[in-house]
Structure 1
Amino acid sequence: MKRTHILGSILVAAGLAMSTSSYFQGQLAQAKTYNYKVATIKQEPYVLLNDDEGKTIVDRALLAGTDWQVGKIADLNHNGTLYYQVSTHEWVNSAAVQANFDPQTGTLLTGEMQPNQTHSNTTQPNQALIGKINSTVVEVYTNNGQTVNTGDPRFTMNSAWKVNRVVKNSQGKSFYLVGNDTWISSDDMELNQAPQNVENIP
């Protein structure tokens, strides 16, 4: 996939702790105005890109406010974090952008959208269950229900995570499995649809 910046970016020196560092500069636009998949960079002042293995590319970044056509969507690190392909071997973290599409179906969205927001909580066949962080301080739980981390930097506000399992305790609180032995509660995450298979636990 060839890198496609909607508004025709230019390559400039960024000084990101390396003399060869660079980022792409462009004008502010709204992703929702395009009729194909586009991600608008929301993270200030820029976001670093990732390679095909999900590793950070320290000398490649995209400026806030620039629009980028999206190719593939993938969980590069197999931990629930979604990435959008913006060039052949470069990806941007979904938490850093405002997208004009549903990350699971590729369906374009209409209206003013928040990062990674979908239309509704209606269950759709074959649509993956995605959770969006809605808290600034997130508690992370283990399989045993123990809190292991509060304020984990991976779980930023509005970041999207693939949910592999849902359980509900006797108090009515739900927990979502988003990684290996990694759970987020319904206090800190909202789903893109009603889960179909919910396991009840004591």
Structure 2
Amino acid sequence: MKKSTSLLFSGLLVSGMVLGTLPMTQTVQAADKVTTQAAASVTNNVTYEYNGEKVGQKTLQGTEGQPLGYYPDGYIYSGSIANFQKDGANVTVNVTKMISAKVNYVDQNNNLVNSEVVNGGDGNKYTLTDIPAGTTLLNDADKTITLENGKEYNIKVNKQVFNTVIFKTADNTEVGRAEIYSQNVGDTVDLTDSQIPSGYTTTTKSVTLQSDNNTQIVTVTKNADSEQPTGVVTVKDQTAQLYTNYGNTISGRTLAANSSWKYYESKTIKGETYYRVATNEWVKASDVSAEATTSNVTPFDNTVTTKDAITKVYTKDGQAVTGRALNANSSWKTANKLVLNDETYYQVATNEWVKASDVTVNNDTTGVTPAKGVVTIGGSVAQLYTKDGQAITSRALGPNSKWQTANKMDLKGETYYQVATNEWVKASSLA
């Protein structure tokens, strides 16, 4: 497995890490034409103080007026972001400790809906972004909290009426589930195409909400042309037992030793992997060997970069490879792309594949449109996200700051603007 290196754009971001001393750029507006030119680099001698005591010192280089981008480990800016001053300036920066705080979302009946842990500077403002699905804030002002060390926050939310929709075929086989919400019992909710199981259709997309936490059944029919095999399994030297959709033994149903069968999907039940070889008939992965069809593999000559965690690799049939993993934030050359059970994988070595959800693709432009311009952040620190919508916890954009954009994308109903390599800001965070 061979690593490849990748070049990242330099971005001016709020960070707890050193971003380096590359020359920064600035945008010059001339009539209706935007051009980019090299900006003069300045050197500042920065002293960091916490409660009047020195906690660090650093000589930094950057562009005057832009964020410093470095803070001592365990600290972050206090109140407002510190920027570079004139060349040779001695700068004193007040910092505060990075802390974690627990946020509880409590509904109108004082029942806990969900909890999350947020990270930020002690005494700094923090904007909540992960409001539980199916709820709205009781008070909009509660969206921004002031972090205090050791404090637990109880945020009031209005919980909408919630129903679970179970999709079943005519033979009563469950093929998927979805959650629907609205304000009142009796409201009509239209199921989206993404909620209906892939490869199935239904004659009724409109569902009337019943009492809270109720369960409803929607009958679906499998598309005639959608049942394409994912691969082939070959039974080992002994007959293989068949199981139901829930992992229960089907009496009198087995597959002959050394026989081969097309399989259509795989899933894990109680830690065991199963392959579906017929309608509601599954075989254990431990009883067979499996190989994905070559029709699901297409050439993909590119480079992928892992995210901020050790990343698992998988075989061609989607099984995790034990004892093998990719380092966090490392780049790898790819050869092929595989779609298996609605999951995309990229090949990084012989029979070693990485999930698309665990990496970012270099120069991937799928779903992205050019959007060159300048955006202004609103009155709060703006969260940054990767291209696949994952929050970047160590970086943010300062309130009321301006940023040059390169592209725009729509992801899960939210619009994002690109402000650096694989760093995007939500349109809802803009002024």
State TM-score, norm by structure 2.
0.18
Q: Give 1 or 2: higher strand fraction.
A: 2
* Higher Cα radius of gyration: 2
State TM-score, norm by structure 1.
0.37
Q: Which has the higher contact order (CA 8 A, sep 6+)?
A: 1
